[in-house]
């Protein structure tokens, strides 16, 4: 397939694609708020217990998370906020800038381990909408997808996963973090999210049938 690099018209998917998805043409709740709610719920801790988290609004995607964790495979993984995602055909978090084809061949992907799964979810009027999810065991937390996605919607960001983190008293990644994006949060609070995502979740919570969104909004507001 011969495709030209993205232009300004190519990179204006947010409004049209979000409108498209809100029309219900995609199966409601498959991997939007429902999945995000399940992910953000995390593991509940004891009262007063603290866990490490990344403030995604401070993270610059420096790459230290991949190399400074005490674990061989970092506890920091890329996560996808579907509420912010544009479901782009040409995703700058998935494709290397030098891609030759819009396919899943390794040479066209930005991720060095192939940890991002690209799946067509809908096609309408010649436009294709793709879902991008993270294969956690393959993700090394290098942040290449995060820096790429920042050129578009910024829906991909890094986070410490509680079921992998050893919760060290002094996190070696936190010590190396140039923007002090690592913070200690109560273990019973949800995972840190981008501030930009909160009003999008709260909007979905207004739908009385979307219980997952309401529960997530309640947890976010109380955090």
- Reported as a pLDDT band with limits 50, 70 and 90, residue 217 is low
So what's the pLDDT on residue 53? 95
So what's the pLDDT on residue 138? 97
- Reported as a pLDDT band with limits 50, 70 and 90, residue 41 is very low
Segment 33-37 mean pLDDT: 39
Segment 9-38 mean pLDDT: 40
Identify the sign of the CA torsion 178, 184, 185, 190: positive
Q: Is the pLDDT of residue 72 over 80?
A: yes
Q: Give the Cα separation of 187 and 208 in Å (integer).
A: 28
Model confidence pLDDT, tens digit, residues 100-141: 998 999 999 999 999 999 999 999 988 999 999 999 999 999
Q: Is the pLDDT of residue 39 over 60?
A: no
């Amino acid at each position: 397939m011969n495709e030209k690099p993205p232009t300004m018209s190519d990179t204006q998917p947010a409004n049209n694609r979000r409108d498209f998805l809100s029309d219900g043409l995609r199966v409601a709740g498959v991997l939007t708020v429902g999945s995000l709610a399940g992910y953000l719920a995390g593991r509940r801790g004891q009262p007063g217990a603290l866990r490490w988290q990344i403030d995604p609004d401070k993270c610059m995607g420096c790459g230290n998370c991949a190399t400074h964790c005490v674990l061989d495979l970092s506890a920091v993984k890329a996560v996808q906020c579907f509420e912010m995602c544009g479901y782009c055909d040409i995703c700058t978090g998935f494709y290397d800038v030098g891609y030759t084809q819009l396919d899943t061949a390794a040479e066209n992907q930005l991720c060095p381990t192939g940890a991002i799964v690209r799946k067509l979810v809908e096609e309408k009027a010649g436009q294709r909408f793709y879902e991008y999810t993270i294969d956690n065991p393959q993700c090394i937390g290098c942040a290449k997808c995060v820096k790429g996605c920042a050129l578009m919607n910024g829906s991909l960001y890094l986070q410490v996963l509680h079921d992998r983190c050893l919760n060290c008293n002094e996190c070696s990644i936190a010590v190396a973090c140039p923007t002090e994006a690592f913070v200690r949060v109560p273990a019973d609070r949800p995972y840190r999210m981008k501030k930009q995502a909160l009003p999008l979740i709260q909007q979905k919570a207004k739908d009385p049938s979307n219980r997952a969104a309401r529960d997530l909004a309640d947890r976010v507001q109380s955090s």
